[in-house]
Structure 1
Amino acid sequence: MMLPSETYFGKLEAVFLFYGAMPTGVTVSETGRIFICFPKWGDDVKFTVAEIVNDTIQPYPSIEANVVNPSNIATSFISVQSVVTDGRGTLWVLDTGAPNFSEPIKGGAKLVAVDLNSNTIRSVYTFTDDVVLPTTYLNDVRFDFRVGKAGYAYITDSSSRGPGAIIVVDLETGYAWRRLNGANSTSPDLFFLPKVEGRILMNRNKDGSTSPFRLASDGIAISPDGKTLYFCPLTSRQLYSISTEVLRDRTIPDRNLQYYVKYWGEKGASDGMITDAKGNVYAGDYENNSIRKILPNGIMETIAHDPRMLWPDTFSIGPDQYLYFIVNQLHRQSRFHYGNDLREKPYSLLRMKIEEPPAPTFK
């Protein structure tokens, strides 16, 4: 006898299946090129940045760039958490410089611009010690090229043991500073108990010890006009936003920024977020194998709910008006299960049609 069961919906398509290291990031360029990153979290990562070419994964922009060179740490990728194309010929690579969540290697945490026409590194932005702290984990980045002479980047610090923050980077000068440092809106929700696949998610170590799973600001998205930045801690169900003009205004003390933060309510617990050209925000819900769509007026709806969506990670919107996202079973890693790796290959890159182009980053 068939009993009633949960309803699943949303038309998902498999784009690529991964049988090696676990991916986290994906981005689709304005010409349809697809880039992936594989942070060094314990898997055998042969290259941390790659491009999908003819149904294969190729190191990008070269294998040499993916080999750590101690003598030139600024131009070699160490452990990349996020890759983002900007719609105007550049792939931006956000290197944590922190394999296995270690303290960032001195000079290793960086933002790198790769020219997609020549497939060469064009510029590298490194950070001072007051911006990238010993506890910092650079997670994701968004861009706006309509302000300043060369634009600005906004980066989330998703630290598990230090203050969360939004890092603002002036791309003309390379000058960067921390905003909302340790604020409630960028910090883990201490009362949040994540539950994935029906079980509480927490750090469970080989020696039997346990501790709460807590990560700071992670998901980030920017409005089509570049004026609003949306963000959320990883271990929280809340969505926040703030004016990018306020973030850039150094005359406003950081302690006062909390008064400029807007609270949007619960959206589910998210890793990745992205914005389309109409200002809709798409956010994963890793507790419920779902994707939420948050309209500019604050109305939220679930657009996909599927049992195969085992931890929807990074999002990207392609020129084909598909929402692309990585599914990587992050919650099944050994660090959450007393040293037992419960992940099942393949990991996947999925997509679904949303009939909207990505939010622009320039006029």
Structure 2
Amino acid sequence: MPILPIEKYFGEFQLVYTFYEAMPTGVTVSETGRIFVCFPKWGDDVKFTVAEIVGDQLRPYPNLEANLANPENIANSFISVQSVVADGRGTLWVLDTGAPNFSVPIKGGAKLVAVDLKNNKLRKVYNFTEDVILPTTYINDVRFDFRVGKAGYAYITDSSSKGPGAIIVVDLENENAFRRLNGANSTSPDPYFLPKVEGQILMNRNKDGSTSPFRMASDGIAISPDGKLLFFCPLTSRHLFSIPTEALRDRTIPEMDLLYHVKYWGEKGASDGMITDAKGNIYAGDYENNSIRKILPNGTMKTIIHDPRILWPDTFSISPDQYLYVIVNQLHRQARFHYGKDLRQKPYSLLRMKIGEFPAPTFL
């Protein structure tokens, strides 16, 4: 029997950590090299939704009490965290969906929390009004710029599967938040996109045998090193978009006119997480092809790693020692996509690869 040619794989990564219990989604590396991860409550036994990796252990962060959802103290307890982001200046930002299993967000549960990395204590909680967090909202990922306004701004993706997608803009000085590109084509699922992972069409397949298309709105988000451009993409799409952050913040621009400020960058592959480095390069996963792409500021795209073990690259982070970190979590093998049968194989993993670039700054 002759040996036949096989698909070419390339690029190298290092295994940082393996997860044998709950499935992780988010990762971030602080300016001092501390590594934080999060575990949303999607059906696994989540003992704590935010953790720090210390040596070979996962430790609830900032403590176990903060990770125990307390109905009487929703503002100061984590419910179901989708994303964690270290801002490079001593703060860990925790994005709590307040929506276990993609349910309607618990009143007051969806929030952005600032944790002081020096004393490991909650410093401030940003809550949202009902016109920002809709019954269909699933806040997914967040980016920051502290060079504008008195205290900076945050930009959050609403990756709703049942309602309008959007970019939520938060003034960190006065806690004022508002939705932008609400239901726009650029923040909405691509209706013609048919995701294919591991050779099979990815769709909702329920226990009762019924099926429906897999649709999720704006998810991946990245900000340019100067803070002037925000890049974003729906989860079920291969398209990349950007918009000037100044236009997002300017509420005198009507929604209909805001659409003209959006720039289309072309196809980059279907991505979950994205991140930018200090030179303005964007790193984006391609969950259909077990790959990670690098997109240069001029729009040129190249694949930097293609490996069969990259089974759904989720969130990215760039460390101060110039590594690109990525959570690999087999999201597409969840029971919701396979008639109630969980096909995930533990462990899930945290990988890293040397890119030789620093993370994009968020402050002067």
| TM-score, structure 2 normalization | 0.99
Amino acid aligned to 1:12: F
Question: Does residue 280 in structure 1 map to residue 287 in structure 2?
Answer: no
* Residue 360 of structure 1, CA deviation: 0.1
SS of the aligned residue for 1:162 comes to coil
Displacement after TM superposition at 1:333 (Å): 0.1
1:63 counterpart letter in structure 2: L
Query: Residue 351 of structure 1: SS of its match in structure 2?
Result: strand
For 2:63, the equivalent position in structure 1 comes to 62
Deviation at 1:2, TM superposition (A): 1.6
Could you tell me how far apart the structure 2 residues matched to 1:2 and 1:352 are? Answer: 31
Q: Provide the rounded CA distance (Å) in 2 between the counterparts of 1:14 and 1:68.
A: 31
Cα deviation digits, residues 81-125 of structure 1 (max 9, x gap)? 000000000000000000000000000000000000000000000
**Counterpart residue type for residue 157 of structure 2:** T
Please give the per-residue CA displacement for 1:116-149, whole angstroms capped at 9, x wherever unaligned.
Answer: 0000000000000000000000000000000000
1:26 matched residue in structure 2? 27
Cα distance, 1:55 vs structure 2: 1.0
Q: Which amino acid aligns with 1:60?
A: Y
Which amino acid counterpart does residue 356 of structure 2 have in structure 1? E
Once residues 61 and 284 of structure 2 are traced to their aligned partners in structure 1, the CA distance between those partners, rounded to angstroms, is: 27
Which residue matches 1:2? 3
Partner residue of 1:111?
A: 112
Structure 2: distance between partners of 1:74 and 1:325: 29
Tell whether 2:32 aligns with 1:35. Answer: no
Equivalent residue number for residue 149 of structure 1: 150
What SS does structure 2 have at the residue aligned with 1:94? strand
Q: Distance in 2 between matches of 1:165 and 1:59?
A: 31
Which stretches in structure 2 are left out of the alignment for 5+ residues? none
Deviations 1:123-181 (A, max 9, x none): 00000000000000000000000000000000000000000000000000000000000
What residue number does 1:302 align with? 303
Q: Letter of the aligned partner of 1:4 in structure 2? A: P
Q: Match for residue 240 of structure 2?
A: 239
- Give the letter for the 1:167 counterpart: I
In 1, the alpha carbon distance for the partners of 2:270 and 2:155 equals: 21
Counterpart of 2:50 in structure 1 is 49
1:176-325 maps to which residues of 2 (within 5 A)?
176-325=177-326
Aligned to 1:138: 139
Deviation string, structure 1 residues 194-228 (Cα, Å, up to 9, x no partner) = 00000000000000000000000000000000000
- Taking the aligned partners of 2:169 and 2:63, their CA distance within structure 1 comes to 29
Map 1:121-136 onto structure 2 (within 5 A).
121-136=122-137
Which amino acid is 2:159 matched to?
S
SS of the equivalent of 1:229 reads strand
In the TM superposition, what is the alpha-carbon distance from 1:54 to its structure 2 partner? 1.3
Measure, in 2, the Cα distance between the counterparts of 1:10 and 1:305: 6
Paired residue type of 1:141: V
CA RMSD of aligned residues (A): 0.4
Which letter maps to 1:347?
A: Y
1:17 counterpart letter in structure 2:
T
Count of aligned residue pairs for this structure pair: 363
CA distance in 2, matches of 1:337, 1:46: 25
TM-score when normalising by structure 1: 1.00
**CA distance in structure 2 between the partners assigned to 1:32 and 1:345 by the alignment:** 26
**Structure 1 stretches of 4+ moved >6 Å:** none
C-alpha distance in 1 between matches for 2:122 and 2:338: 39
Cα distance in 1 for partners of 2:249, 2:242 equals: 14
Query: Which string of whole-angstrom CA distances, capped at 9 and with x for unpartnered residues, describes residues 264-302 of structure 1?
Result: 000000000000000000000000000010000000000
Query: 1:256, CA displacement in angstroms?
Result: 1.4
Counterpart for residue 163 of structure 1: 164
* SS, match of residue 325 in structure 1: strand
CA shift for structure 1 position 254: 1.4
SS in 2 for 1:50: strand
Letter of the structure 2 residue corresponding to residue 188 of structure 1: P
Instruction: Return the alpha-carbon distance in structure 2 between the equivalents of residues 273 and 151 of structure 1.
Output: 21
